[in-house]
Amino acid sequence: MTTSLPSTYIEQMRTLLGQDAERFLLSYDEPRTQGLRINPLKTEIGSVLTAELRKMFDLEPVPWCSTGFYYGDHRPGRHPYHAAGLYYMQEPSAMSAVEMLDPQPGEVVLDLAAAPGGKSSHIAGKMQGQGLLIANEIHPARAKILAENIERMGVSNAVVTNATPDELAARFPSFFDRIMLDAPCSGEGMFRKDPNAFQEWSEDHVVMCAARQWDILEQAVKMLKPGGTLAYSTCTFNRQENELTIERLLAAFPAFTLVGTERIWPHDHRGEGHFVAVLRAAAGEGGAREPQAAGAAHGRRKAERAPRGKGQPAAPAAAGMAQFLAWAREELPGFAPGQGDALLFGEALYGLPQVGGSSLSAAQLSGLRIPRAGLHHGTIRKNRIEPASACAGARCEPCVGAARL
């Protein structure tokens, strides 16, 4: 495969790595690494079920992720346990980003470029159902896949949005405790995983990716609370998309400090390659260039547009929630409903997540495209509730027990 790589890419890596370049290039002739993460919302690392999975798939621990494992000549994606959301298939290097972000239960977290859901589900596992996660994806088809994976993994405290970064920044200035930005990139770290990927690579493509990453970062910093943490990651190697982008951010936003960086190299680690930088905003000020009031006014102007999938916590939604809770008392005795608004999107009944001081309202979401507005409870048809399958994946004892069968 090495002989098929673009000559300009090889030259770039020789300049970047010096004497280690030969070992790096030889790694392209080695097998790709494959991994999965155990879902702590469905099972625990020390459980009998996890021990069964480790034996079944010959799992070996990923050193930088306590829930991550390597697997070899197996196909865990075809097993019913995968469909049940007991684990998420994820490249081992990519697991490093959320580990460095270190989200905590009860926080308000944004995954800004979230599809297909690997980092969002990782964040949700660390939050343990406490707090609020907004998982955003700009492309509608990928946002749908993201919503499906959030449901499969049993995440009850997430809202999936299909919005541009500037749309979110207008609505949520200084709103998030932590932000994960796994930025769209030139994908150099995926060349071994996908040999066709390097056919799209060029120096101009790298320049374009760096420009797009900067545009997204400018919006991300506006949404971070004072003292908040931002993790920026790529699956690429060049400095332009990595260190130089971070240097540009620090120069433009002096309220930020660099907490740390990490690179995973395929010739040094069992992984395809990843870059992560963690930054923190000063405690006394946010990262936004604009005052919060100006951003909030912008958000109100955005909300005046005709909404798509509009949901309002009106009497029909409250009545639908009452029907659902009456059913749940009989059929899901371990189910604990949240305290957020009940929303109806057409006939679909959702419960918005709520966290102290930063709960979402239907008004904040009005006008945004929302593939999943929290936990889907069911469908209201002819004054009756048809429970949604999402509730079977939420963390309650009957459902977790069923998943372990």
Token representation of residue 382? 């002819």
List residues bridging with 132 in a β-sheet: 108
Catalytic, 65? Answer no
Read off the amino acid at residue 221. Answer: V
Token representation of residue 63? 């050193």
CA dihedral sign of residues 57, 401, 351, 228: negative
User: Under 8 Å CB-to-CB from 82, ≥6 apart: which residues?
Assistant: 76, 89
Catalytic pick from 209, 235, 391, 399? 235
Show pLDDT as tens, one digit a residue, over the chain (405 residues): 676 899 999 999 999 999 999 999 999 999 889 999 999 999 999 999 999 999 999 999 999 999 999 998 999 999 999 999 999 999 999 999 999 999 999 999 999 999 999 999 999 999 999 999 999 999 999 999 999 999 999 999 999 999 999 999 999 999 999 999 999 999 999 998 887 788 889 999 999 999 999 999 999 999 999 999 999 999 999 999 999 999 999 999 999 999 999 999 999 999 999 999 999 999 976 555 443 333 333 333 333 333 344 455 457 888 888 888 888 888 877 777 777 788 888 888 998 887 766 667 777 888 899 999 988 888 988 778 888 877 766 644 334 444 443
Distance, CA of 67 to CA of 59 (rounded, Å): 11
Domain range annotation of the chain: 93-304, 315-403
Longest dimension (CA), the chain: 71
Distance, CA of 103 to CA of 101 (rounded, Å): 6
User: Under 8 Å CB-to-CB from 280, ≥6 apart: which residues?
Assistant: 227, 228, 229, 230, 256, 257, 259
The pLDDT assigned to 397 comes to 38
Topology adopted by domain 93-304: Rossmann fold (3.40.50)
